Amino acid sequence: MKKRSLLFTTGLLLIVSLFLSACSNEAANDANQSAERETPKFISLLTGGTGGTYYPLGGAFANIISEKTGIETNAETSGASAENLTTLKDGNAEIAFTQTDIAAYAKDGEQMFENVKVDNVQAIGTLYRETIQIVTTKKSGIKSIEDLKGKKVSVGAPGSGVVPNAEQILEVHGMTFADIARKDLSFDESTAGIQDGTIDAAFVTAGTPTGAIEGLSATEDIVILPIAQDKIDALIEKYPYYIQDEVPKGTYKLAETVPTVAVQAMLVVRKDLSEDLVYDITKAIFENLDQVTHAKAKMIKAENALRGVGIEVHPGALKYFNEKGIKAE
């Protein structure tokens, strides 16, 4: 009887020992995996098409992050805002550019994110205005948004934030996509199409000057269609993430300043990135903007980064801004 009891006790102790060992190994593996998630060796920064503003800025930001954090960071081309948020949702990148309005749609499950809310993305901060530029040429004869009826018009690449911008601007002019021959083209494809005559006009939402439009202005007399003040007021009243803006005289050789509207560009990250990592990324970008040669860098200021964000800010970014005495408005 004693022998049987001893064997049972020994067996029980062996089982407990194996269980504790397994738990210890699992905890160690979890800790190692967590550490890897918190300090990745490589980061993907999603931008947009090569003809927009996200791409050159993203390249400069990637270089800064790589240099200042020691983490290899690669700027990748993409379909821009909406596609970028979907990619972050799927866990296939770490940082991305997007428009503030598109981030709001993603958070609330609206527009292109209906029934597919993006709940794993937080903001680093806003950067600069994304001006809505409705581009055509003098030879097209198009002088107003109403003149777009029946014309071949690009409303942005599939998955970009330009599509809802175009839809909403047409809406306040009493129009829909049914009133135009809609084309879904990137900025470069749009300006190439205008140049070769396969499309008549294009909506471009990007910081000015926009590379693709500058390229077109080298060979064509550019026209940016104005938005009348009453239409601007109606748009902002219904969609408050818009702000009044303009394309300055001289841009693309324009003879006059053109009134329009804008949303804001922002940087977002996956919320599972560690506070320390996002703090380092935020600090690296905002304290080394002098290394960015693109004209938009002059508009990016830490003191403005928490204005109009519209979604939750990552704790790592908040830590940096709080250190600088910058609070959300």
Inter-residue contact 42 to 72 (CB < 8 Å): yes
**Domain range list for the chain:** 41-128+266-323, 130-263
State pLDDT tens for residues 253-292.
999 999 999 999 999 999 999 999 999 999 999 999 999 9
Residue 38 has a pLDDT of: 61
Task: Flag whether pLDDT at 15 surpasses 70.
Answer: no
Has domain 130-263 been given CATH number 3.40.190.10? Answer: yes
Same fold, 41-128+266-323 and 130-263: yes
Query: Rounded CA gap, 208 and 252, in Å?
Result: 9
Q: Does 114 or 27 have the greater pLDDT score?
A: 114
pLDDT of residue 34: 44
pLDDT grade for 115, boundaries at 50, 70 and 90: confident
What predicted TM-score, i.e. pTM, was given to this entire model? 0.74
pLDDT of residue 32: 42
6-15, 49-58, 208-217, 230-239 — which is least confidently predicted? 6-15
- Averaged over 204-231, what is the pLDDT? 94
Distance CA 96, CA 60 (A): 13
Rg over CA atoms, the chain = 25
Q: What is the CATH number of domain 41-128+266-323?
A: 3.40.190.10
- The number of beta carbons lying within 10 Å of the beta carbon of residue 50 is 14
Among 76, 74, 132, 73, residue whose Cα is nearest residue 99: 132
- Taking 70 as the threshold, does the pLDDT of residue 26 lie above it? no
